Amino acid sequence: MIGTPKFWYKKNISSKVKTFLFFPFSIIWILISYIKKSFIKKYKSNLKVICIGNLTIGGTGKTPFAIYIYKILKKLGYKPVFLTRGYKGLLKGPVEVKDTHNFETVGDEAMLLSKIGPTIVSKDRLLGAKLIENHEENFNIIIMDDGLQNYQLEQDIKFLLVDKNLKFGNEYCIPAGPLREPVNQGLKKIDALILTGKNYRKDTNFKNIDIAIFNSETKIIKSPKIRKEGFLAFCGLANPNKFYELLKENGQNVISTKSFPDHYVYKNEDIDNLKSEADNQNLKLITTEKDYVKINDVMNFINVLPIEMEINMKEKAVFKTFLKEKLNG
């Protein structure tokens, strides 16, 4: 995983030594988080607030799952709106994402969300919530894309997304491990656990957790034409292998891959180099929707893989009932 220390997810002696060396700084991280939490008074909105979050640094599929929740709520007759901090965007907000915005001003995730529904970007979630409360559209549900560790806004329903393969890594907090907060502390405050990815490890077991658990799956909305020549796949994700594996599972001939850091901002030079490399191997380029919003592809020579996340078919009905009960409770 580009940009993610490998020792967070390994159990060899070298990794344990690195964890030990960074552990004192993890204590400082936990103390700072505790102090911040103690001094912040949570605001209770007059709207229902649903939070989609995780305990680890890196991608677990929060944005695709937020979109899934949005679509369910729309079918149930609600008027939901997305609230995101606009990670790596220049605007502090609160501001509603418009066609005039781009990834540089509001961030790549906000751009993706805005294609689905109304999206508010606000580094200060409290100010974002108040903007939504006074919005002329009369929204009645706020969907927070990320925010389990945000203590400004009281959340009515909290979903925790966990990768079934990676889980919580070595279960240490930053920088000794990938955790934003201790596992036991995080699990106490959530309403449901959403498991993502495929279970490649036999020891992955959440049966002892006394919380509602649902399995999710990622699907390709529209797969590009399968080419014998194959693809050069590239992306800037926390876990790029998920993207490459998804392509292969759907019959795509992935000959070469190129990974960039998470939320990477592509330069024209990067795209020129990728195109040159693909041409030399007689390959086509393919990337994710999240990456594509940051690329100036005027010639339309890059294929995009649109995906969606949803609850496992066998659990869909139970999940919808669970969601409705929580909203009405």
pLDDT tens sequence across 98-116: 999 999 999 999 999 999 9
Q: What is the DSSP string of 104-167?
A: HHH-HHHHHHHTTS-EEE-SSHHHHHHHHHT-TT---EEEEES-TT--SB--SEEEEEEETTTT
Confidence of residue 226 (pLDDT cuts 50, 70, 90): low
Burial class (CB in 10 A: 0-12, 13-18, 19+), 217: middle
To which residue do tokens 């795209």 refer? 271
Domains of the chain, each with CATH number or no CATH: 48-218+310-328 (3.40.50.300), 222-305 (3.40.50)
Q: What pLDDT, on a 0 to 100 scale, did the predictor assign at position 58? A: 75
Indicate the range of 41-55, 222-236, 241-255, 306-320 predicted with least confidence.
Answer: 222-236
Q: How far apart are CA 132 and CA 258, in angstroms?
A: 40
CA 182, 183, 189, 194 torsion: positive or negative? positive
Q: How far apart are CA 287 and CA 193, in angstroms?
A: 29
Q: What pLDDT, on a 0 to 100 scale, did the predictor assign at position 298? A: 67
Q: What angle do CA 83, 114, 42 make, to 5 degrees?
A: 0
Q: Name the pTM for this structure.
A: 0.89
